[in-house]
Structure 1
Amino acid sequence: MERGALLLFFLAFGVVGQALTPTTVLTAIDQARLKAVFENTQPFTDIASAHYSILGLKLLGGGVPKAPEACTFLKNKVDTKNVQSLFYATAATKALGTCQIAGGDAEQVLTTAINESADVATLYYAVSALSNMGLKFNSADVLKSLEAALKKDDSLLSSVYALHIASQLSAESDVSLYVDSVEDLLAQADEIDESYMQFEGGLSVTSLFIDGAYKLANRAKKPPTITEDKVVMLANYILSRKHTQSNKNGYYVVAALRTLSENQYHVPVAVTLVSSVAVSGADPNVKVKVTNLMQGSLGKLSVTANSATHMEDDAVILSKKPFTASSTDPSLYELNLMQTKPAPGFYTIEVNVTPSKEDKRLIGTEGSEVKVKVTTEVTVVNSEMAVMDRDQSIASKSVKVNYPGKVDRVVEADHHQLIVFKFALKDKATSKIMTAHQTFVQLVNVKTKQEIIFIAEADDNDVYRFELDVAESAKEHFNSLSGKYTMSMIIGDAVVQNPFVWVVADLQLKFPETADGDNKQEVVNQYAKKPEIQHEFNKPEKRPPLMLSNFFAALCVLPFLVLIILWIRIGANLKNFTFSLGTIGFHVGLGGIFGLYYCYFLYLDMFSTLKYLTLIGVVTFLAGNRMLGAIAKKRA
C-alpha cells in the first residue's frame, strides 16, 4: 500500500520543485496553444480583443497575420474621443510597427484627460496612449494629478496602475514614493499553500503588478522590493493559469511571464523533466531542461544532481553527480541514473544550477526537484502448488510450476482439502527477490465464466503464499458451484515493466452439497435477463352504495332549505334589494364562489381552484364594497 500511495502522490504532482522553485514553465506547446487562442479572435470584433490578441502575438515572438487589415480595423474602430479606446488602439498599433493612429484630436483628448479630477485608470490610459504614440506630456502635471487621484481612490488596482504611470515619467521626476509602495502592495497579496501568491482580482491584477513593478524598477534603476521567494510564488500563480482559453487572460499570462524571464533583477530558474518518467536499463538517462519561465536558454550552466533519494526508505543513491550538457540543445542536460544500480521504486533528484558566468538575476538555482521511477522486469521463481488435507495439513499432492508454463494436468481438490500456491518475484536486473503492489489470484469458471479474485500476500521473506480452503470458500465465493476453474496469477506494479497474467493451472473443485437446496441452474444463469417487474398501483377503495351517497347529499342540502323556511318565518323580504351594478355583482360573485367549491369537489384540483377563486374573489370584493357603501349612504 505504501508504494501505491507513492504512485498516487507522484501522479498528482508530477515534476514539482520545492515550495520556492517554479512548478512548471510555459512550454513550446503551451505557447503554440496560446498563439492559436490569439489568432482565433480574428477577424476582430472589438478594439479591446484586437489589443489583447495583437500584443499577445507580439510577446510570443510571432507576427500578426493580415497586419494591414488589422491596422485598418484599429483606425476604423478607434474612438478618438475616448481615452480607453485610444489606449487599446495605440498599444496595438505600436505592436504592429507599421501602423499609426493620427494625432490631432487624439492628442488633445489625451492631454486634456490629465487633470486633478481624473481617476487613476484614466491617467494610466492617457499617459500610456501618449507614450505609445511617441508624444510628450508634462510629467510634473501627471505626478500632481496622480497624487490627487490616489487620495480619492487608493484601491489595489489604482495603486498598481500608479506603478505603470510612474514608470513612464521623465528621468527628473521623483518616483521614490511609488518604488517604495511595491513592498506595501505585495503585503496585500494572498499566499496559497506556501507556493502561490496572488492579488485580489486574480490574474489581471497580479500580472499588472508584476509588469508594473519591474518597469518601475528599470525606470528607477533599483531592484524592486520583492523577495526571491515571493517572485517564485507570483510566477507559480501565473503559470497555474496558463491553460486559459480567454484572449484577455492569455495576454496577461504571457505578459507577466515575459517580464519575469527578461528583467534585469529576478529571473526564476525552472528545472523540468523532459525525458520519460520511467528510467530503466533500456532507457537509463534522466533528461532535464534548465530554462527561464518561457523555456528560453539561460546560457552555459553547470547542472548537478545534489542527491537522488529513494522515496520509500529515504536511501540516498548518489551525491554531487554532474549532468552532461547536450551538444545540440544548450538548455538540455542528461544524467545516467542506472549507473548507480538503483533498486526499483520512486526517486527524488535534487538539482542545483550554477551559471558559468556569475548572473545575479538568476533565482531558485538550488533545491529544484524532479521525480522519476526506476522500473525493471520481473520473473516468477520458486513456484509450487500443493493440495493438502485440511484436517491433517499433510500434502497429498505437490507439483512444481515453471513460469511461464502451466501445470500439465488438472489439479483436483474437494471440500476436505486445501490448495496452497507459493511463489516469489525476482528482479531480472539484480536477481533480487522483490514484491509487487498488485498480486492477484484469479479463478474463472470454465462453463459460466464467473470470475473470483483473491489477493496473494507476501511473508517476511517476500515469498507469496495463496491458500484456498475449498469448504470455507464454497458458498461465499463460488456459490457452491462445483466444476472446472482456470487459475491465473495477475502481477503488476508501477515499477514493473512487464506486468503479466500467468495461467498457472486448471482446477477441478468439488464443493459440498448445499443443505438448503440452492438452484444450481439459477446460479449458472446469474447473468441472464431477469423477468420484468410489473408495478401495480394500489386499487381504489370500494365506493359506498348509491342510496347511502344520495342520503348524505340530501343532508348537505337540508340546511339550505331550513334557511329558506326561517327567512319566511322571520319576514325576510327583497324590498331593500337594489338592481345596481355593485349589488348584482356581489351576489353573482358569491354564488360563483359556491359554484367553484362544488366544481372543486367534483373534478378541479387545488391549483386550478385557487386561480379561479382569485379572479372571482377580486370581483366579489370590489362589488361588495360598492354595495355596502351604497347601503350606508342610503341609511345616512
Structure 2
Amino acid sequence: MQALKTSKLTEAASAEDIFYLVSAMKDSGLEVDKTKVTEVINKIKAKDSTALTMAYILQTVAKLGLSKASIKPYLDLANDVLDQADELNGNQLFFERGIFTTTMVAQGVADIITSYGEMEGISEPKLVKLINFLYTRRHSTNLRAAAHLAAALKAFSHNAVVTPVSITLGAQPLDDSKEQFAAGAEVHHASPKLRLRLFTLGGDSLNPTKITLKAAGLYAIQGPNKIRVLTGPAERGSFSSPDGKSYFELSLASANGSLPTRNWYELELSARWKGESSKQRILGLSNVQLPLRVLANPKIVDSIMKVGDGAHDKYQTEIKLKPGSRITGSGASGSIPIEIGQRMLLSLRFVDDDPAETPLTVHQAFVQFTHQETDQSITFVCNEVAAVGIASAKAYQLKLDPEGSAADFDNMDGIYKMELLAGDSLFSKPLLWHMADVSLHFTGPRGLDSARRAADAADISRQKSPSSAGMKRAGSNPLIGTGPTKAKPGIEHVFRPPERRAPRPLAWAFTVLCAVPLLGLLISWSMIGFNLWNFRFSLSAIVFHAGFIAILVLYYIYWCYLDMFTTLGYLTVLAVPTFLAGNSVLRAQLAARQASPTSNTTKK
C-alpha cells in the first residue's frame, strides 16, 4: 500500500486513482497525508472540470476528515457541478454519461454535505431534481447501474443533514373502518378524503407523530395553457393521522360537505419536523405541487329511444329507458322491432350523482350493436348536442338509419344487443349499460362473411368443438366483415441471387483482348526504336516515374472507392513531388542532349 501511495499520489494520477487510493488506505487503517492529497486533487480540478472527475474529488474530500473551513470550497464546487447537469421534463437533472455519472455525482454531493454538516450554498431545487432522476430509475435492471444507484440512494437515505421524502398516494383503510377512501390522487363525493404516506428513499415510512404535513391552496388547472386558478381557501390546514403511525389524511370537502367541481387540480404541500424531533432538513416537501383529480360519479338521465318514419323524420314510438335495466319490446325475444324504412333516435344526458345533479360532459360515448347469433358488432359514436331547456348542459344523441347503414352491418339482419359505453378521465367509473335488444331488417343480400358466420353459428358441432379452431370460430369478433382468420404463409427471406458469370473460355478471351493494347504498346516501341536502355537512374527520375505511376493508381482507386474531395487531397500530396522531379528530369535530359557530340556537330 505504501508503494502504491508513492507511485499513485502524484499530479499525473487521475481523480479516480486518488479516490480509490484514499479509500484503500482508510480501509487499511493507514494514515493519509491530507495536505498532499488536497494539493494533488486541487491540481487535478484545475485541469479537468468534468462532472465525473468532480464526483470523485467530492467523495475523496469527504473521506479526508477535513475541517469545516477546508470543506467549504468543495461545497461550492458541488453546487457548480449541479450547474453542469441537463434538465429532463422540468423536474429531473442528469449528466451526460447517464445513470453512472449521475449516481457518482449524487453520492459525492451527499457525502460532502454530510462532512460539512449543512446544505449551505447547495441549491435545494437542483438537489431535489437530481434525486428525482435517481428515484425514477430505482427499477433499473442493469447490474452496474443498480449497484451505483443503490449506493447513491443509501447516501441520501442515511444522511444526517437531509431527508429526501417521497409521497405514496392512497392507503388501505383500517379493518374496522366503514368509510370509503379515494385510491391515489383522486377524490369524489363517496370518498372526499385524500390519504397519503411519506417514505424515505430507503423505503422507511415516516411517522406522522414526528412530522407536520400542511396543505396550502388547491389550484384548478384550466384551459390548454394549464393556467392555475386558486379554488377555495388559500390554507386548508394540516393533515391528520387517524391511526397515528402510518398515513396522513385530509378532507377536501367544504363545511357543507361539497367538493370542488370535477377537474384536474394541484394541491400545494409542505412538511416540517414537529418540535426538535430531528435536525435533518426535509427535501421534496417544500411547497410541492401534488396533482390530483376531483371525480364525478356519473348517472344517466332523460334517456329516451324513439322509433318512427325515416322518410319524414317523424317518430311514432317513444320509449323511456331506465338506466341499469333492459327494456323489453314486442318483437321476438323481447326485442324492439325496427322495420325497413324506419329510423331510431337515442337521446340521453349525463349528470353527477349528487342532490344538485350537476350536468356532465363525457369524453367518449358510444353505442354498440352486437348480433346475438354471430357476435359480430359495430360501434357508433354519439353526437354531442345542446340539451333542450337546460342552460350549458349537453345531451348525447344517436340517429340510426338501418337502411343507410346497411353496408356497415353487412346486411346482416337479426336481433342485436344495444349497449351504451361511456367513459371520461374525470369519471369515478366507466358506464356500460345494456339498454335493449333491437331487431333490424335489411333488404340487400348478406355479405359472404356474415352468411358464413351465420351458418357456423347454427352448426352445433362448431359451437361446441373442443379444438382451438372451433373455439376461435365460437368467440366474438369486434368488427363487422371480419371473421376468423387462417394462418398466413410464412415469410421467407430470399437474398438476391448472384449474377451469372461468363464461361471460363470467354472470360480468358476477354482478358487477352484487354492485354492487346499493352502488347501493341510494346510493338510500337520496338518499331520506333524506343531506347529503354537510355533510362538514367537518378533520384529525380525515380521519384518522377514513381509519382506518375502512383497518380495512375490513385485514379483507379478514385473510380472504385474514394470520393472526389478525398482524392484531391491525395492528389495534392502526390502531384507536388512528381512535378518537381519531372521538371528536374526534363532539365537533365536537355543538358545531356546539349552536351552530346551530335548536338555540338549540329550547332556547327
Task: Choose the corresponding residue for 1:425, options 350, 354, 357.
Answer: 350
The question of whether the paired residues in 2 share the 8 Å contact of 1:407 and 1:504 is answered with no
2:119 is aligned with 1:210? no
Structure 2 match to 1:302: 212
Amino acid at match of 1:502: W
Amino acid at match of 1:322: S
Q: Offset at 1:402?
A: 2.4
Structure 1 match to 2:26: 131
2:355 is aligned with 1:453? no
Matched residues in 1 for 2:156 and 2:485: separation? 66
Instruction: Show CA shifts across 1:184-232 (max 9, x none).
Output: 3333222233322222222232222233234334445564532111111
Matched residues in 2 for 1:238 and 1:387: separation? 61
Instruction: Show CA shifts across 1:515-552 (max 9, x none).
Output: xxx66666534556899999xxxxxxxxxxxxxxxxxx
Q: Offset at 1:288?
A: 1.2
2:399 is aligned with 1:467? yes
Structure 2 match to 1:233: 129
* Range with greater deviation from structure 2 (147-156 or 617-626): 617-626
Matched residues in 1 for 2:342 and 2:21: separation? 92
Task: Choose the corresponding residue for 1:409, options 326, 330, 349.
Answer: 330
Unmatched segments (≥5 aa) in structure 1: 1-105, 535-603
Q: Offset at 1:250?
A: 1.7
The question of whether the paired residues in 1 share the 8 Å contact of 2:76 and 2:122 is answered with no
Amino acid at match of 2:150: V
2:249 is aligned with 1:341? no
Amino acid at match of 1:420: L
Structure 1 match to 2:201: 293
Q: 1:129 to 1:434 in 2, by over 3 A?
A: same
Instruction: Show CA shifts across 1:545-580 (max 9, x none).
Output: xxxxxxxxxxxxxxxxxxxxxxxxxxxxxxxxxxxx
The question of whether the paired residues in 2 share the 8 Å contact of 1:182 and 1:224 is answered with no
Amino acid at match of 2:366: F
* Range with greater deviation from structure 2 (136-145 or 109-118): 109-118
The question of whether the paired residues in 1 share the 8 Å contact of 2:302 and 2:348 is answered with yes
Q: 1:288 to 1:441 in 2, by over 3 A?
A: same
Task: Choose the corresponding residue for 2:499, options 589, 597, 606.
Answer: 606
The question of whether the paired residues in 2 share the 8 Å contact of 1:352 and 1:366 is answered with yes
The question of whether the paired residues in 1 share the 8 Å contact of 2:167 and 2:196 is answered with yes
Task: Choose the corresponding residue for 1:355, options 258, 273, 288.
Answer: 273
The question of whether the paired residues in 2 share the 8 Å contact of 1:269 and 1:362 is answered with yes
Matched residues in 1 for 2:46 and 2:485: separation? 78
Q: 1:176 to 1:435 in 2, by over 3 A?
A: closer
Q: 1:337 to 1:422 in 2, by over 3 A?
A: same
Q: 1:377 to 1:407 in 2, by over 3 A?
A: farther
User: Superposed, which structure 2 residues align to 1:510-589 within 5 Å?
Assistant: 510-511=441-442, 513=443, 524-525=451-452, 526-527=481-482
Unmatched segments (≥5 aa) in structure 2: 172-182, 224-228, 387-392, 453-480, 490-496, 532-604
Amino acid at match of 1:306: A
3-state SS, counterpart of residue 197 of structure 1: strand
Q: Offset at 1:322?
A: 2.5
Amino acid at match of 1:464: Y
Matched residues in 1 for 2:447 and 2:64: separation? 92
Q: 1:251 to 1:479 in 2, by over 3 A?
A: closer
2:153 is aligned with 1:254? no
3-state SS, counterpart of residue 31 of structure 2: coil
Matched residues in 2 for 1:632 and 1:439: separation? 95
3-state SS, counterpart of residue 132 of structure 2: helix
Structure 1 match to 2:231: 316
Matched residues in 2 for 1:285 and 1:261: separation? 29
Q: Offset at 1:273?
A: 1.3
* Range with greater deviation from structure 2 (339-348 or 249-258): 339-348
Q: Offset at 1:494?
A: 4.1
Matched residues in 1 for 2:440 and 2:446: separation? 18
Q: 1:361 to 1:627 in 2, by over 3 A?
A: same
* Range with greater deviation from structure 2 (174-183 or 320-329): 174-183
Amino acid at match of 1:183: N
Amino acid at match of 1:606: E
The question of whether the paired residues in 1 share the 8 Å contact of 2:54 and 2:105 is answered with no
Instruction: Show CA shifts across 1:145-202 (max 9, x none).
Output: 3344445545443333222333333547955554443333333222233322222222
Q: 1:289 to 1:608 in 2, by over 3 A?
A: farther
Q: Offset at 1:130?
A: 0.5
* Range with greater deviation from structure 2 (276-285 or 130-139): 276-285
Matched residues in 1 for 2:505 and 2:263: separation? 77
Structure 1 match to 2:55: 160
User: Superposed, which structure 2 residues align to 1:380-419 within 5 Å?
Assistant: 380-403=300-323, 404-410=325-331, 411-419=336-344
Q: 1:496 to 1:612 in 2, by over 3 A?
A: farther
Amino acid at match of 1:204: F
Matched residues in 2 for 1:610 and 1:283: separation? 88
Q: 1:108 to 1:428 in 2, by over 3 A?
A: same
RMSD: 4.3
2:5 is aligned with 1:110? yes
Matched residues in 2 for 1:407 and 1:308: separation? 48
2:68 is aligned with 1:186? no
Amino acid at match of 1:324: S
Q: 1:210 to 1:445 in 2, by over 3 A?
A: closer
Matched residues in 2 for 1:633 and 1:321: separation? 112
Q: 1:405 to 1:321 in 2, by over 3 A?
A: farther
Matched residues in 2 for 1:532 and 1:158: separation? 58
The question of whether the paired residues in 2 share the 8 Å contact of 1:266 and 1:363 is answered with yes
3-state SS, counterpart of residue 394 of structure 2: coil
The question of whether the paired residues in 2 share the 8 Å contact of 1:424 and 1:462 is answered with yes
Q: 1:448 to 1:304 in 2, by over 3 A?
A: same
Q: 1:614 to 1:142 in 2, by over 3 A?
A: farther
3-state SS, counterpart of residue 133 of structure 2: helix
Task: Choose the corresponding residue for 2:439, options 508, 524, 538.
Answer: 508
Q: 1:274 to 1:111 in 2, by over 3 A?
A: farther
Amino acid at match of 2:266: T
The question of whether the paired residues in 2 share the 8 Å contact of 1:446 and 1:485 is answered with yes
Matched residues in 2 for 1:201 and 1:467: separation? 59
Matched residues in 1 for 2:417 and 2:10: separation? 89
Which structure is higher in RCO with an 8 Å CA cutoff and minimum separation 6?
Answer: 1
Matched residues in 1 for 2:99 and 2:36: separation? 31
Matched residues in 2 for 1:482 and 1:208: separation? 69
Q: Give the structure-1-normalised TM-score.
A: 0.60
Matched residues in 2 for 1:611 and 1:129: separation? 72
Q: 1:298 to 1:489 in 2, by over 3 A?
A: closer
The question of whether the paired residues in 1 share the 8 Å contact of 2:347 and 2:396 is answered with yes
Matched residues in 2 for 1:217 and 1:489: separation? 60
Q: Offset at 1:406?
A: 1.3
Instruction: Show CA shifts across 1:557-614 (max 9, x none).
Output: xxxxxxxxxxxxxxxxxxxxxxxxxxxxxxxxxxxxxxxxxxxxxxx96354499999
The question of whether the paired residues in 1 share the 8 Å contact of 2:114 and 2:161 is answered with no
